[in-house]
Amino acid sequence: DPTTSLFLYDRSLKVAPGGVHSPVRASKSVGGEPIFFRFAEGAYLESVEGKRYVDFCQSFGPNILGHRDPDVSVEVGKIISRVWTLGTCEPYSLELAEWIQAKVPWAEKVRFVCSGTEAVMSALRVARAATGRTQIVKFEGCYHGHVDSMLVKAGSGLAGEGASDSAGVPAEIAATTLVAPLDNEEELERIFKRAGSEVAAVIIEPLPANFGLLVQREEFLRKVVTVAREYGALVIFDEVISGFRVALGGMAERLGVRPDLVTFGKVLGGGFPVGCYAGRKDLMDLVAPSGPVYQAGTLSAHPVAVVAGLSTLKKVE
């Protein structure tokens, strides 16, 4: 039957790796074949077979108000009737950037990109440029998108050196990442005593949520910040998951911590592709065209995404 998920999946296997465009959609970890959905509204999805489902996932996070929130839909309809993509300066992303700046005081300047992965990649580049150092410290189990240097797990013993979780990542790139265990101040200090002068930044999900929801002790999170600053490394909070959810200012607001750089993702787009990195003015001014750190994107600050995002976030507020 050409209208079934199974039939569509068989077709997809012929055109896409594993029949999908993101690995989790293959449903391998939960068993069975992928379900193909054709309609979504509020809390519900409808499959191509016409079966209704409650959606507890909400597209992995962007649909904080549910699918196609009616108020956001009105704003999306207006902007789509006016512009799609411009490739020029426009007022729509300016409004969202000013809103973020007002709600997140440590976001002194903002640069929009198209995904959380892109935001992390760019923030790491800024950190390396600002410090003149190469190494990055991340934490085991924290996910920061599919940037080469972030696709690492802990190495052997106490060395803390990364070995890639993915084929195609050169060992030389994996070696620029030092992996520390979560909730272990002693091991963190050991890594910094050994390599602190080479560490450009520490990056952490302050509320790790991709390896299970691993709520951290506040004392540990504060120690991460203290140790990094003691050795002259920057602090990057990856708030792609926690930003604008646990509080408007994310976990940084809840902790009363001011990170040097912060990354946000899907929630900023209300269901359309968007991400951003933000932080201290002096660091963000290193980014082109103000400074020597190159980063660009044809679809960055996409008008539809930023309008949907601002409408979503205002309603959340």
Catalytic residues: 143, 238, 266
- 264 and 240 in contact (C-beta within 8 Å)? yes
Q: Is 141 exposed, middle or buried (0-12, 13-18, 19+ CB in 10 A)?
A: middle
- Who contacts 172 (Cβ-Cβ below 8 Å, separation ≥6)? none
* Residue found under tokens 């077979």: 49
Task: Map residue 60 onto helix, strand or coil.
Answer: coil
Half-sphere exposure at residue 304, Cβ-oriented, CA atoms within 13 angstroms:
13
**C-alpha of 247 from chain center:** 16
- Paired strand residues for 278: 110, 262
Rounded distance between C-alpha atoms, residue 125 and residue 240, angstroms: 18
* Residue found under tokens 């993101």: 22
Task: Map residue 131 onto helix, strand or coil.
Answer: helix
